[in-house]
Amino acid sequence: MGPPWSGGVWGGRPPEASTAYAGFVPSRPYLLLSCATSADGYLDDASPRRLILSGPADLDRVDEVRAGCDAILVGAQTVRNDNPRLLIRDPRRSARRTARGLPPHPARVTLTATGDLDPAARFFAPGAPRLVYCATPALARARTRLGDSAVLIDAGDPLSLGFMLTDLAERAGPRALVEGGARVLGDFLAAGLADELHLAVAPFFVADPARPAPASAPRPDLPNPIPTSPFFSPNNTTSPMTLAGVSRVGEIALLRYLLGPGGPDHRFLRWAVELSRLCPPSATAFSVGAVVVGEDGEVLATGFSREQEDHDHAEEAALRKLGPRDPRLRHATLYSSLVPCGARASRPVTCVQHIVAAGIPRVVFAWREPALFTDGQGAEQLLAAGVAVTEVPELAERARAINAHLVRPGT
């Protein structure tokens, strides 16, 4: 597997991703959790010095993911213990953000129940917007300590993760990265608010078999017993995370999981919607994302509109990476944020024709195409060709919002 966006199957925006749709955000950001653990599941050991789990290749991968996000979030304990800079390391990535009209670095975000933060920490250094979400009882203390070194936001009592994410989407943008620590990762997982998890596994153990690791060595901190979430329970064997990819990054094994309600269909489709944010802007074509998944759940390819050529549709961009004779397509499912086109003006072959020719037996989509550019009846054409079609209308608004510059509300 190639670098994070060469095949479209790893996280972060590619350097050339457009931000033309940054104003059209969902009610909360697409939330990506990122963490590195030892082979026995520890985020750190119990020594005073921070344990480095990632190698140079994985650190560079994380840097690319950061460059594709609008905000980077860590807990207050991480700010105190690790004193992270939360900046993009590669100046070329920062320069590409600046060229697209973005700040050179994503917003830095933390949350605190106590207000116990040091304004001299590197988190509060100039170079990126700083947002601190604070529980109501600690506001006065935080305001006294921090002054004007950050924007301080009342997040309720107790601190509400749901409010924080809704507010963050409005202040920073539609994509946020959570890097720790253990408690924050566990809280987002337990609340069912995460959309994606990147888990980097280091090739060594923290615990000595002769001397088990002390209880102070941190792991992802899920409440025990875990609260019942109407969305997702990460330790529920009846609704496990969806494995979307495995890759070797140096000596690190990188696992990518999709999370959230609705099982694999909804998760892959939400990912397709998220991919549509990468489309170069157009006033005459929709922005669409597509994911092709094999019978065994392996992600075969992804694509988005205008990914390689000006007239690319997402489905044909994804299928081009495989070729029409790939035998895996005969048992695959194609997920598309917009129903595949049944008519088009830009090229002679429609996406419906590409799908039927490839022998794909099933299509899942979020949003029915409004009669703006063509009146293609893609879903009906697929059904007539014997393709099973599943519509997920509860995700339609997410797909429509990314195209809000083209359509009227409610279209």
Q: What is the pLDDT of residues 2-40, one digit of tens each?
A: 332 222 223 333 333 334 333 444 578 999 999 999 998
How many whole angstroms separate alpha carbon 51 and alpha carbon 34? 16
What digits encode the pLDDT tens for the residues 35-62?
999 998 888 877 777 788 889 999 999 9
User: What pLDDT is stored for residue 345 in this prediction?
Assistant: 79
Same domain (yes/no): 207, 227: yes
What digits encode the pLDDT tens for the residues 279-331?
988 888 999 999 999 999 999 999 999 999 999 999 999 999 998 789 999 99
Answer whether 286's CB lies under 8 Å from 322's CB: no
User: What pLDDT is stored for residue 373 in this prediction?
Assistant: 67
Residue 373 located in a structural domain = yes
What digits encode the pLDDT tens for the residues 119-148?
999 999 999 999 999 999 999 999 999 999
Number of independent structural domains in the chain: 2
What mean pLDDT comes out for the span 214-218? 56
Single residue among 212, 236, 261 that ends a domain in this structure: 261
Same domain (yes/no): 320, 341: yes
What digits encode the pLDDT tens for the residues 166-176?
999 999 988 99
Structure tokens given for 175: 């994509």
CATH code of the domain containing 159: 3.40.430.10
Total-model pTM: 0.83
At 77, the pLDDT band (50, 70, 90 cuts) reads: very high
Same domain (yes/no): 210, 150: yes
Residue 409 located in a structural domain = no
Same domain (yes/no): 177, 64: yes
What mean pLDDT comes out for the span 265-271? 96
User: What is the torsion angle, in degrees rounded to the nearest 10, for the CA atoms of residue 1, residue 71, residue 188 and residue 274?
Assistant: -50
Structural domain harbouring 335: 264-402
Residue 183 located in a structural domain = yes
Mean pLDDT computed over every residue of the chain: 86
Single residue among 246, 261, 276 that ends a domain in this structure: 261
User: What pLDDT is stored for residue 227 in this prediction?
Assistant: 46
Q: 366 or 369: which carries more pLDDT confidence? A: 366
Burial of 210 (0-12, 13-18, 19+ CB in 10 A): exposed
Of 61-65, 98-102, 225-229, 332-336, least confident by mean pLDDT is 225-229
